[in-house]
Amino acid sequence: MISEILKKSFEAKSTLDELLKHKLKSTGLSKTHFERLSGIQRKSLDAILKKSSKQTDIVNLLKLGEFLELSLEELLILHFKDRPTDEIKELQNSMDITYINKHFDLKTLASLDFVKIDDSVEDLTKRICEFFEIDSIYDYEQELNDALYSRTKRTFSDKMKDFWIKSSYKYFELIDNPNEYSRERLIDLIPKIKPYTQNVENGLLTIFQALFNIGVTVVFQPSLPKTQIRGATFFINKKPCVVITDFNKNYATIWFALIHELHHVLFDLDTIEDTKFHLSGEPDLFLLQEDKANEFASEYLLSSEKMRYIEKLINNPLIVSRFAKECQVHPSIIYSQYQWRQSELGNNYWGFFKEHFPDVNLATKNLNISNWDVQSLRLAAEKIRELLTV
């Protein structure tokens, strides 16, 4: 409402002073007579008409509006016309911080070094606009909502989730993979992925580069606080784009999430093209393939038949290690699958076998180009495009 009033105030032709003179002339009243009847002192009235007061007397302003037969909106439009620049700026700042608080979780974003907790309104506005390459903070909702939510009419009340989705979408737009997407080449590549799970430090990067070469952009992002997102698949510029997170901070889970999302790329891309994106780990009414994607990833990494064999020997690390090598997977894949299978039976093994899971940071250090503390998403996009281009 305030933004519309300010906009209209710049376009207003009349002034309160002009309207009062016309009204006094038409009623035959003098200015002094009006002041006496309305109870407005000359000093206060002149301050309103000449825009000279630092703090407007609201009661007197309303009295003047009643006499001029103006609606509250009309009165405010004329009141703010030609008001001092500092007052308009103060009001604009108030609008901006209200908008920012509504759409951004500043405390969480400060913990990610996206902003500083003591930033001014001007600093916050500049940071958001530069990061997303938008002209106004209000474009965060208008421009990006049109790109992401226009077809499905879905939005997210969760500010961090909404921020994650919008920044990811913009990120992929800026990466702008030049390679044409080929479903056939993806089908050929998938059987070759599994052995790279054994290469903790470079396996993920090698596979991300191979996927980028066939038009599938895959990036890794640290999991954001207050979200449960394990991965996501977007459809941008006629190409699939995938985000993998380190939710649960588990090496095997990252590979599972990758294969899970590639299932969506293979079998759900038509749906995702219509909905613009899909989040794994979050409820999604538009996609009914989560169980199939989970089964696909599980069977791909280690079939149920092989799992039934090795789970009887799970407490013998030497045998598990040898079996993992035969299956061309990292041993943590086996232990992770065992934990999941046991959880479905009501048994809690999540705290077991920790020594067999590699440090997830070893796997992601080459991929972890953090988006949140860079000046703009464009800078991060340029770095990741260079990294993925072979």
pLDDT of residue 52: 78
C-alpha separations of 279 from 122, 227, 282 in Å = 33, 11, 6
Across the range 159-173, mean pLDDT stands at 90
3-state class (DSSP) for residue 253? helix
Q: At what angle do helices 58-67 and 72-80 cross, to 10 degrees?
A: 120
What is the C-alpha to C-alpha distance for residues 87 and 96, in angstroms, rounded to an integer?
Answer: 14
Percent of the chain topping pLDDT 90 = 50
User: Distance between CA 124 and CA 93 in Å, rounded?
Assistant: 11
Q: What 3-state DSSP class applies to 179?
A: coil
The three-point CA angle 218-222-225 to 5° equals 135
pLDDT (0 to 100) of residue 282: 66
Q: pLDDT category, 366, cuts 50, 70, 90?
A: confident
CA 344 to chain centre: 32
Tens digits of residue pLDDT in 301-343? 999 999 999 999 999 999 999 999 999 999 999 999 999 999 9
Residue 218's φ and ψ, nearest 5 degrees, are: -120, 130
Nearest to 246 by CA among 105, 368, 111: 368
234, 277 Cβ separation under 8 angstroms? yes
Nearest to residue 106, comparing CAs of 114, 290, 40, 341? 114
Sheet holding 217-221, edge to edge: 217-221, 239-245, 231-236, 277-280
Mean pLDDT is lowest, of 96-100, 157-161, 263-267, 290-294, for 157-161
Strands (E), 246-309: 277-280
pTM of the model as a whole: 0.80
